[in-house]
Structure 1
Amino acid sequence: MPRPLHATIHLDAMHQNLVRARSCTPLSKIWAVVKANAYGHGLARGMRGFVQADGLALIETENALELRELGWVKPILLLEGIFDASDIPLLAEHNINSTVHCLEQIKMLEYTSLYRPIDVHLKMNTGMNRLGFPPEDFRAAYARLRAIPGVRNITLMTHFANADELEHPRLSIAEQVRRFRLGADGLAGERSLSNSGGVLHQTELLGGQYGELQNDWVRPGIMLYGGTPGGRAAADFGLLPTMTLRSEIIGIQQLAAGDTVGYGSRFQADGPMTVGVVACGYADGYPRHAAQDTPVIVDGVRTRLVGRVSMDMMTVDLTPVANARVGSKVTLWGDGLPIDEVAQAAGTIGYELMCALAARVRVGEGRLGCD
């Protein structure tokens, strides 16, 4: 028998989360973001789960080509653009859109002859300060792209730093939108602004001064996988978990007052208690730095992590689980236990837990709510 740790991917929940995104932005086309191996869910599953999206967005050229080999015929967008001029003919051959965020990429396009024109997304840096042209340089970059015979359509895009917090004291959406208007006003082309936070907060945003956020394209990522970029819980937005990580109890220990558990003896029992050993550790992608009391579900009963997470195992408090035994089912995140809640208790974010799932973890598919 294989080790009992396994992840279940819920394609039905992925479908539903995409429907939810579309309901937030009914006038927009959707780039479903499938970077990082579809946030740990698998590229092929991401394609199937978001088959109704208008396009798929990711980072790696080789994964864009894999999507084509898997049968995806709708648009694909490279969110970081090309890394080398040798990538450009592939864009034309396979009809792949590329982000353009720096002069070096424009120069590559200027010096490459293409037998078929490509579409690009010109990125403006409105305060995220990672990629993109500042507003004052945006028009010049646009003009250079427009002069390249091999460039067809130019979409204007930016990326919000704090879309989960509408009035962030250092950089609000209002300020980023103002900067975008400054740089893009009067330029022809579709617009692409909103990430997951922008999509989820459309109701609040459209009620104020952010009407252009209901734009031509949106780029939801984490929300499609049942997480949020911060703030409210995913369930508050009607989002469903798309990955459930489960294991089993493989050992039980009875502790007396003063006994400790695991490496470093970080946890000490106040009195008699039962501890269960779960087949999951940091080599599987569970965070080693998870704090005491990080929630876990055993046989449907909510309990907590105790002791330090080790490479292959972790220990949980079985005292509240009356009939716990070797073989008892354990839910580490997902169906019944929101991944964002686990991540917050572990001092990280749901994105990291999804993406960190190790290759040795068995992955299958199943409907949400069905073991």
Structure 2
Amino acid sequence: MILVTGGAGFIGSNFVLDWCAQHNESVINLDALTYAGNLENLATLDGNPAHVFVRGDIGDFGLVARLLAEHKPRAVINFAAESHVDRSIHGPEDFIQTNIVGTFRLLEAVRAYFGGLNETDKAAFRFLHVSTDEVYGSLAKDDPAFTETNRYEPNSPYSASKAASDHLVRAYHHTYGLPVLTTNCSNNYGPYHFPEKLIPLCIHNALAGKPLPIYGDGQQIRDWLYVKDHCSAIRRVLEAGRLGEVYNVGGWNEKANLDVVHTLCAILDELSPRADGKSYREQITFVTDRPGHDRRYAIDATKLERELGWKPAETFETGIRKTVRWYLDNQDWVKNVTSGAYRDWLGKHYGECA
């Protein structure tokens, strides 16, 4: 059995879905169901005894300790985090609380649990911490891509809080001998992505006839990683990664934001054309850039390929087409997320605590 935290969010739910489809090993899924946590992501697992959902916070030491003692997982995979730079700019305190304090309390509960295991179970146990390339800061156009030895230079409250959590995980390995692994990924995209990020937001707005907002000049460059590829990388690191090591996970797909939106528009023009026959490109609108917007991120995933034999299965062109098709085929999910209907569902099932 494994314990997954944040398993109702975008990347976490994709990981849980893929895990249950490919393994006979059960998953305990702990998620606080904040704004981006959505049980509709996991609807296909309803009634599946291999998936046990628990609503709760990684900062709740007692709850985590109880789950560890009851289920005795062989691994903990930590996806739980407040995310999105824009939200951290407007409300940084939540990021400090979840990403730093929450990770600390989770580590404390795991440390206590690990200390009580027999030597065989200790040797098999892993704590895998999922992080971001944003901890490394920003790159100039001609700088080499981030490697695992790059200095941490976070530039937003979000990336600073994630950097702090990475340091805590490293410290618990070196100080307490906790068998940890850390992955730092580039920008993910794919199914179940909450429609505030660039790709799902632009798909949603395009179909609704709304503006497609582009920060600044749209030339901010990101490395784009299809979420299913990210999940396969995490499984591989969990299986064979060297203890205490960091592995960068990237898609080898550097694209400027504007180019990403142009690609989205072209696919939508083909698969769901506008009634007036015009291109969705006409809806692109440039807006004031956000404060401290990092210019470029790029991941060098050579270490992961060299040591563990992992490479992404999708190119950007194949992954983005699958993503657009998923959103077109799952408009009810999008409508429920954007309307808040899924929160009404939570209220019916969890009462006043929802």
TM-score range, shorter chain: 0.3 to 0.5
Structure whose alpha-carbon radius of gyration is higher:
1
Which structure has more helix as a fraction of its residues? 2
Give the TM-score normalised by structure 2.
0.33
The structure richer in strand per residue is 1
